[in-house]
Structure 1
């Protein structure tokens, strides 16, 4: 094993491929729940209502396909985001592994990356993906908040039209509105990948027992459980990020006049004054309902592809 290892010593092609496939899986399973969460958080019509009321109202008024409003940015974007997120995660894991952040595997199968190493890799990967994620999430949020059933009645006819209007009114940098909130939100991947690895190690203790899970089942369980841990800690920052991106909603968006961008502090203060601490946790139920199946499947695909490609080296 080399004594030092640079980030560029391993091109993360395997991680990029596995991450892209994981992103597609997450969109297919979870986008409808994300639409409900966004509307609960930001639409004043649903301020005092829960997830099932919002779901029922959306289906009655706009039909089933309304759940997939704004799906184009994440269908392409989340795949790219997860490709960067999980590709860089793979690179950071290898970098930390080859630079001494290792420990003896309790099963006696060699060295493995420490739990802190998995956590730091998740933190760095989350921050690395933020510049790409911000404009994609911004377009998604603004499209999801449109309540009109007919496309012709909506201000934004689609993601390209939304981006063009935003650039006309606020310039290219307007596409990165909410970036600081996105950084705070994505820093919570520290906890997601800590929880995933801790759960995988816990499940490995059943080795040799009649109810020992297969590696695929372990990935499903650990991925779903890690996502619940992530959202419990990240939802306040997601709420702030989305409010920053939606500003000045529910006031109309101007097509020509630049709108001052709110700060993390001003949005957090506004949420607290309007709704108290509970306001930071609006949308948590649909997050939980969506998070377990979508992330369980995403982790299953990601980890499975890494093993198939022979790329997993940090877990023994």
Structure 2
């Protein structure tokens, strides 16, 4: 057994990313939730409710006030805290495990190892993300008293559990895992952009983390967005009479009834507007927390 396995401080360093990830989750939710509400509404609303992102913002503000943009915010406040803790913590853990096992002589984990760690973290966090995002999405599409079914995240959780146990909460698990497989684009680009900024600019470390985090997330969302639309469509399906029994049924529905290929990009603009500031701030917060805890 190597000395690394005997050293408690070294052992702790593999898991400290889970703690730092909490800072990322809180930051991401605070900055990004209003954009996320607009995105989910555009993705799931029946045709004709909104003419576009700006109209969605205006109608939400007019009918529900500023609070309308923060519907469902409590669930992801706790949920993002846990989700980013698991996502970034598992990414940090998998990167170290893969490097120790397959690239012990390398100073830095090569890109193939990073991409494997990225997929592993995406699949791992999906088991947390699926129920959290299901509750968030169902609260976000409650437009008025007529469409209101749940009084809040706890009420939503209780009612779904009473109805069919964990079935509805985890109905979006496979779509969530498919969506998060695109983490290869996020963390691959984040690594490449970080290296480029370190090499060709004189930006401070926090500034590098901010820009790489924002740009990397934008790359991720560009590739992953259609999978997110499919995921949200399945998650907000009618509980009592589900329309989509399979992933392919949701794909066909979006294509035939939501405007062809354009249907897979509904809500794309608010997503991209949200992506940069929310993820840039979140990744900067994560890396800052890691530096505070002296983990590199």
TM-score when scaled to structure 1? 0.86
8 Å CA contact retained: 1:103, 1:114: no
Q: Offset of 1:123 from its aligned partner?
A: 1.0
SS at match of 1:180: helix
8 Å CA contact retained: 1:170, 1:259: no
Q: Pick one of 242, 245, 251 that aligns with 1:262.
A: 245
Q: Pick one of 145, 154, 161 that aligns with 2:141.
A: 145
Aligned to 2:109: 113
After superposition, the Cα gap between the structure-2 partners of 1:70 and 1:42, relative to the gap in structure 1 and judged at 3 Å, is: same
Q: Offset of 1:118 from its aligned partner?
A: 2.0
8 Å CA contact retained: 2:4, 2:11: no
- Structure 2, unpaired ranges of 5+: none
Matches within 5 A, 1:43-82: 43-44=45-46, 46=48, 49-82=51-84
* CA displacement 1:86-117 (0-9 Å, x = unmatched): 1101101111121233786xxxxxx1111222
Is 237-246 or 9-18 further displaced after alignment? 9-18
After superposition, the Cα gap between the structure-2 partners of 1:306 and 1:281, relative to the gap in structure 1 and judged at 3 Å, is: same
SS at match of 2:294: coil
SS at match of 1:173: coil
Structure 2: distance between partners of 1:53 and 1:233: 25
* CA displacement 1:142-183 (0-9 Å, x = unmatched): 0000001x6x98211011111222223222222112111001
After superposition, the Cα gap between the structure-2 partners of 1:172 and 1:217, relative to the gap in structure 1 and judged at 3 Å, is: same
Matched, 1:197 2:199: no
After superposition, the Cα gap between the structure-2 partners of 1:233 and 1:102, relative to the gap in structure 1 and judged at 3 Å, is: farther
- Structure 1, unpaired ranges of 5+: 105-110
8 Å CA contact retained: 1:195, 1:226: yes
Matched, 1:217 2:207: yes
Aligned to 1:160: 154
Aligned to 1:107: none
Aligned to 1:108: none
Structure 2: distance between partners of 1:273 and 1:261: 14
Structure 1: distance between partners of 2:61 and 2:246: 34
Aligned length: 290
8 Å CA contact retained: 1:40, 1:46: no
Matched, 1:96 2:98: yes
Structure 2: distance between partners of 1:200 and 1:221: 8
Structure 2: distance between partners of 1:69 and 1:15: 29
After superposition, the Cα gap between the structure-2 partners of 1:89 and 1:295, relative to the gap in structure 1 and judged at 3 Å, is: same
After superposition, the Cα gap between the structure-2 partners of 1:3 and 1:232, relative to the gap in structure 1 and judged at 3 Å, is: farther
SS at match of 2:167: helix
> Hey, which of these two has a bigger chunk of helix by percent?
2
